[in-house]
Amino acid sequence: MQERTSLPVGARHPQGVPLPDVLQSVVSQIMEVGSRVQPFSVESVEKAPRIRDAKLFHSVCPYCAVGCSLNVYVKDGKVIDIEGDPNSPINRGTLCPKGSATFQYTVNPSRLTQVLYRAPYSDHWETKSLDWAMEQIAQRVKKTRDETFVERLPDGREVNHTLGIASLGGATLDVEENYLMKKLFSGGFGIVSIENQARI
């Protein structure tokens, strides 16, 4: 049997024995088909990562003092994705569950954009203006502070505090907001009970 020199080494029996002609022919056809330019569907060609052509902005996760770096992708004036920055020496592209949810906090159809107020004993929410809400909060904080403010304890120690107001913040309050809250509520109003998730 004559060995066909056009076949690759793989077309031979592992021990060097030439393959039968019919088998060599099949192997040749397979090799030829495999070497062709592969066809792609239109859908395959048009597939692309969602951040293709997006503009990249670097930012910092606002939620705690670790300061993880973020890549914010913007397309057509809208934020389309937020990911950890792989070049950051702090987080190396990773984000904790809170940080990795930054995009969902920012772009979310369920996000409330109006003040909702439920009056005492009411069974429904009312939409109010931000000015109305700010005025209500200011008046109630002032009234409660005036009624509960303690300058000195019975033993004479000066405390200048109120135990009648508390502040409970959520994870979406950022570092700067927490700083301002602590400064105003503690130093300004004398509120003792201030708590927030983002205080690593």
Q: Measuring CA to CA, which residue among 93, 52, 87 is closest to residue 73? A: 52
Q: For 114, list phi and psi in degrees, rounded to 5.
A: -130, 155
The answer to whether 15 and 31 have CB atoms below 8 angstroms apart is no
Q: Which residues sit at the interface with ligand SF4, rule CB under 6 A?
A: 61, 63-64, 66-68, 91, 95-96, 98-99
Look at the chain and count its residues.
200
Question: How far apart are CB 196 and ligand SF4 at their closest, in Å?
Answer: 12
The nearer residue to ligand SF4, 25 or 172, going by C-beta atoms, is 172
What the block records as the tokens of 124 is: 């429904």
The nearer residue to ligand SF4, 54 or 68, going by C-beta atoms, is 68
Q: Measuring CA to CA, which residue among 162, 163, 116, 111 is closest to residue 136? A: 116
Question: How far apart are CB 195 and ligand SF4 at their closest, in Å?
Answer: 17
Question: How far apart are CB 186 and ligand SF4 at their closest, in Å?
Answer: 23
The nearer residue to ligand SF4, 13 or 199, going by C-beta atoms, is 199
The residue at minimum Cβ distance from ligand SF4 is 99
Question: How far apart are CB 170 and ligand SF4 at their closest, in Å?
Answer: 13
The nearer residue to ligand SF4, 11 or 95, going by C-beta atoms, is 95
